[in-house]
Amino acid sequence: MTDVIALLQEFAREKLAALLRHQSSARFVSQYDVNNTYQYIINREEAQLSWVAKAIEELGGAVRDDADAGRSISGKGNAAARAAIERAAIEDDARDAQAFVDRWRPRVDAMENARHAKMLRVILGEVLEAKRFFEQALAGRTDLLGRRADVLEPASGEVLSTRWIE
């Protein structure tokens, strides 16, 4: 079982790092629909991490939270410069999602424990869904989480990077 615990701990650490990167992107991505999509992805990742944490704990392991996002996004300047940084962040997130799946799919497929393998396969599927969202955002789509009624105009506006202003 210790091999399974170690594998789940490593998976959780990498998934937590992805979540931290997505939080960093969400603070920078200001387009309303794209930011809402980041919030959805972050929410799903929190749920996924809770599943993996529960599995680790049930096996007698300890959940570690020593992940590092590996990047931080910042930038100032005119709208064009910010847009380029925002696009680069979304591109990185799409690329990272595919790399995560490519790295983990063979290991998950080789797992003998069907219950844990199925859980990780569901998570990998959701990572691919997030990648699709990122690709659609890069293509300029705003209907990432659903379409608005025809009578409504597309949403406009930006999200502030700091949620609370005092």
Query: Is pLDDT at 68 greater than 80 in this prediction?
Result: no
Give me the residues paired with residue 80 across strands.
none
Q: Is the pLDDT of residue 133 over 90?
A: yes
pLDDT band, very low/low/confident/very high, at 12 (cuts 50, 70, 90): very high
Look at 133 and 83; give whichever has higher pLDDT.
Answer: 133
Rounded distance between C-alpha atoms, residue 37 and residue 49, angstroms: 18
- The model's pTM is 0.85
Q: Residue 92 pLDDT > 90, yes or no?
A: yes
Q: Residue 49 to residues 29, 46, 154: CA-CA distances in angstroms?
A: 23, 5, 33
Q: Is the pLDDT of residue 146 over 70?
A: yes
- Per-residue pLDDT, averaged over 103-126, amounts to 97
